[in-house]
Structure 1
């Protein structure tokens, strides 16, 4: 199957079967989403959603968070991964928002990645979710699923994966495609035990066609 056809068929399947796909992080405004995405690095959305209500309530503005300290913030987020670093990042991010961006979450990649705790992936999430821009955030799920299905070829880094996906996915679909791939990786195409028999993408999937071919060859060997 040619790559263009694979993309077309995968996109068509998602459009028909997953017409609504969005972040599972809970938030009320761009500032809260930025906090949640920073906290979600190497941590589950479920865990982040458990600790953010109190954090959002007590630090509802960049000014409030900027006036705090990493030591105070740590107590709110101690159950997430790397709480010490994330506490420092959150306070530093809030101070930069207040001092340099008029307390507003910026929309441009170059500005977002200046914020402490914000790398390209986090910046792309904010651009996509908040500003509906054609920005593809590549996390472990997107990286794995894209490679398994065959949407990417020999893409060894998140940036290479991002560029290849952006080349083939129509710009208007990039924001939802980001969530299609994440959610598919989270619930179906899991890292250790992919649920291939439940997956509607089997006819388009390089990984499935490969294991299916191996099982057929093994069956032939038994029958000889």
Structure 2
């Protein structure tokens, strides 16, 4: 017949249980630290070489790139030099993986049929693409929901949307950014700096797209 409290273990068993718990605790801590190290190391690595970005518009088209005071350094607004801006194709500047595809802020009411409608907030319909090596591009104020989805891989030149004026936009155009390690940098196209740097004044440049199918570059 057993006597005493059956829930109480002999001291040697309690001590062993404590050692086991301690060992499990240390093991769990090491696992967490290891996982944290795996996550942190890529964030600490310097960005890789700049991809050979192309203008995010069809091959051979000439577009005006501009900025203005308060636009923010390195932000680029793009307008076609010929024809209507509404609905023009927006292409991926380089191959990568879509990380954002939806609404940034609010859409507003500006459409081709109502170009003077109320403005929205932020970037409206937008897309962000991760190109690897901590390089990203962003495409804002698209006309309608993007033609790509989060997680989708795109090739350079794939159409991702159409030019519009959603969000905080005064007229149809493409707002475009290149980011290196989450910091905006001067955009380069076909290996050449765009010339859009600081927003201390309003100015524009013109560039021709070399975002062409293979064999036409």
| TM-score grouping bracket, smaller chain normalisation | under 0.3
More helix by share: 1
- Select the structure with the greater relative contact order (CA < 8 A; seq sep ≥ 6): 2
Say which one has the larger Rg. Answer: 2
TM-score, reference length from structure 2: 0.23
Structure with the bigger percentage of strand? 2
